[in-house]
Amino acid sequence: MAGERVKLLVQNRSVLGSAESRRLRRQGLIPGVLYGQEQPVAISIPERDLRAALTGKGGTNAVLDVVVDTGKAHASVLKEYQLDRVRGTITHVDLQEVRLDQPIHATVSLHLTGEAAGTKEGGVLNQVVTEITVEALPMEVPASVEFDVSGIHLGESAHLSQIALPEGVTLLDDGDAVLVSVMQPTREEPEELEAGEEEAAVGEVAEEGAAAEGAPDSGAGESGEPGTAEG
């Protein structure tokens, strides 16, 4: 959904460093930086408010009206974020102030809908792309886009150029890139071949056994062969 705006109250962060960042997180605050039209500003954001802002209808592409210390609102978007490797929680964010009348580049999630005809024909659906890069005005960037795979048959592919984007949104990725395909599943080796290999192995063992039975006994002195008895 485009056009989502969320007000976000933040505090100026005067003390910097790893120790201070850890202290803020223990208090339920997320350290971050607001990159504005002038100098970057170090900020801290209540974790609960940030999570609510980024999980709303606009998702991570929502326009955030960032208010620093009860000052004026700065229309901003999420630029980058870092996650805790174990907990999966946000540990740091970078916000970028934007002008609402100028287009920006954004990453948008791609979701598939429908059931591909090719899967009913015995094929396997393979989604190659899960995100696309678009250009649009900040208020026109969609939270996500959908692509209906119902018409894709076995052996066919769909490309990025086939995605129907909202008006005012331009795809920046290569339109010829494969988005999704339906292919024949990889088959295992036929059991007949496996059985044949087993029979061949059994035959080799049998031949070795027969050769062993026909070999002379090294301890039989009655054979009269040289070296079989002490002189």
CATH of the domain at 63: 2.40.240.10
**Which residue has better confidence, 135 or 196?**
135
Residues 122 and 170 in one domain: yes
Residues 53 and 122 in one domain: no
Domain end (from 146, 167, 183)? 183
**How many domains, in total, are found in the chain?**
2
Residues 19 and 77 in one domain: yes
Residues 49 and 114 in one domain: no
Residues 12 and 91 in one domain: yes
Helix (H) or strand (E) holding 170: strand 170-171
Q: 19-28, 108-117, 205-214, 215-224: which has the highest mean pLDDT?
A: 108-117
At residue 88, the pLDDT reads 84
Residues 19 and 40 in one domain: yes
Whether residue 206 is contained in a domain is answered as no
Whether residue 57 is contained in a domain is answered as yes
Residues 25 and 79 in one domain: yes
Over residues 202-222, mean pLDDT: 50
In the predicted model, is pLDDT for residue 219 greater than 70?
no
Range of the domain at 142: 105-183
At residue 32, the pLDDT reads 95
The position carrying tokens 């920046």 is: 172
Whether residue 11 is contained in a domain is answered as yes
Domain end (from 71, 98, 125)? 98
Whether residue 196 is contained in a domain is answered as no
Whether residue 220 is contained in a domain is answered as no
In the predicted model, is pLDDT for residue 14 greater than 90?
no
pLDDT tens-digit map of 167-186: 999 999 999 999 999 999 88
In the predicted model, is pLDDT for residue 49 greater than 50?
yes
Whether residue 207 is contained in a domain is answered as no
Residues 93 and 157 in one domain: no
Whether residue 225 is contained in a domain is answered as no
Residues 109 and 66 in one domain: no
Residues 10 and 93 in one domain: yes
Whether residue 40 is contained in a domain is answered as yes
Residues 11 and 82 in one domain: yes
Over residues 82-109, mean pLDDT: 93
Residues 94 and 110 in one domain: no
CA–CA dist 74, 91 (Å, integer): 22
Handedness of CA 10, 16, 20, 21 (dihedral sign): positive
At residue 153, the pLDDT reads 96
At residue 135, the pLDDT reads 97
Helix (H) or strand (E) holding 18: helix 18-26
Domain end (from 63, 98, 133)? 98
CATH of the domain at 123: 2.170.120.20
At residue 221, the pLDDT reads 44
pLDDT tens-digit map of 137-159: 999 999 999 999 999 999 999 99
At residue 199, the pLDDT reads 55
Query: Across the chain, what does the average pLDDT equal?
Result: 85
pTM: 0.73
